[in-house]
């Protein structure tokens, strides 16, 4: 049988061909144990090299909150938000999950080139494993954040339970971000050099360290833009649940839900469309 005749056979499929989306998702679901095992291994491996080990997971956001909080608290003066310390703690701790998913997720394919080139599996499991890794890091961080809130005089309320659906939406949103970044860095390797700067831009413009209501009170048009800023929405909602912050609006739920579902769908389709490109030498 000639090659031309082989290509006419309906039961033959090209090696490495992109599967239909539903089959692709089903296969990825079957590899969920692989994604979780990889995430857990990376958490352990990244901390075994340090003397303090797992403590760095919570020490790093605590140090960031202390340093940035002190500097920006002094710079803002009277414009600093009320209850500034828990305000900054919530912002820095939750933002660390986003930046971890974005920067590490973007390198999930290029950083595992040998694995991608040697094994056949749905590549989407790699950025998803990064999100799982960051989620494993987030759990103890949230525990420390709760302890700090208790020390600072913010005790549990019924509203604290709303953090659960908010975190679910947050994970969906960050998964979409990781998927988009993972594909982009395959096409443009130099993007990894810009990731730290992109992360800082989000950090300084998301309301992590300041209250847009106060800082932008003289610029209502710019303040209105913040109502559609996804990171500002999730931080505002979290602060409203945990410390009674009044800057969050109920409509933020709808906005952030749309952001989360939209980012996940776009990220998944965008990543899946280039499945055949991953692992190529070019």
Contacts of 85 (CB under 8 A, 6+ apart): 69, 152
30 and 125 Cβ atoms separated by less than 8 Å = no
pLDDT band at residue 83 under the 50/70/90 scheme: confident
Whether this prediction's pTM lies above 0.75 is answered by yes
Q: With 90 as the cut, is the pLDDT of residue 33 above it? A: yes
What was the pLDDT predicted at 182?
94
Q: How far apart are CA 163 and CA 237, in angstroms?
A: 8
Contacts of 6 (CB under 8 A, 6+ apart): 12
HSE-up (13 A, CA, CB side) for residue 90:
32
User: Region 95-118: what's the mean pLDDT?
Assistant: 90
The encoded tokens of residue 235 equal 């931080």
């Amino acid at each position: 049988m000639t090659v031309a005749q082989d290509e006419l056979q309906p039961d033959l499929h090209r090696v490495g061909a992109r599967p239909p989306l539903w089959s692709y998702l089903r296969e990825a679901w079957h590899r969920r144990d692989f994604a979780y095992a990889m995430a857990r291994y990376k958490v352990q491996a990244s901390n075994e090299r340090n003397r303090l080990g797992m403590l760095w997971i919570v020490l790093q956001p605590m140090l960031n909150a202390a340093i940035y909080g002190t500097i920006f608290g002094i710079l803002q003066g009277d414009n600093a938000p009320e209850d500034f310390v828990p305000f900054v703690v919530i912002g820095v701790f939750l933002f660390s999950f986003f930046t971890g998913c974005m920067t590490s997720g973007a390198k999930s394919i290029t950083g595992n080139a040998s694995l991608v080139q040697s094994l056949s599996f749905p590549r989407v499991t790699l950025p998803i494993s990064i999100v799982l890794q960051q989620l494993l890091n987030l759990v103890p961080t949230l525990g420390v954040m709760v302890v700090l809130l208790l020390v600072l005089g913010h005790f549990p309320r019924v509203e604290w339970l709303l953090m659960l659906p908010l975190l679910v939406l947050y994970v969906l949103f960050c998964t979409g971000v990781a998927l988009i970044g993972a594909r982009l860095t395959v096409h443009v390797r130099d993007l990894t050099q810009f990731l730290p700067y992109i992360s800082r831009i989000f950090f300084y413009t998301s309301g992590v360290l300041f209250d847009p209501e106060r800082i932008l009170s003289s610029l209502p048009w710019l303040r209105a833009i913040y109502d559609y800023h996804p990171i500002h929405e999730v931080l505002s909602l979290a602060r409203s649940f945990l410390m009674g912050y009044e800057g969050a609006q109920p409509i933020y739920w709808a906005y952030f839900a749309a952001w989360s579902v939209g980012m996940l769908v776009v990220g998944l389709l965008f990543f899946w469309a280039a499945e055949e490109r991953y692992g190529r030498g070019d």
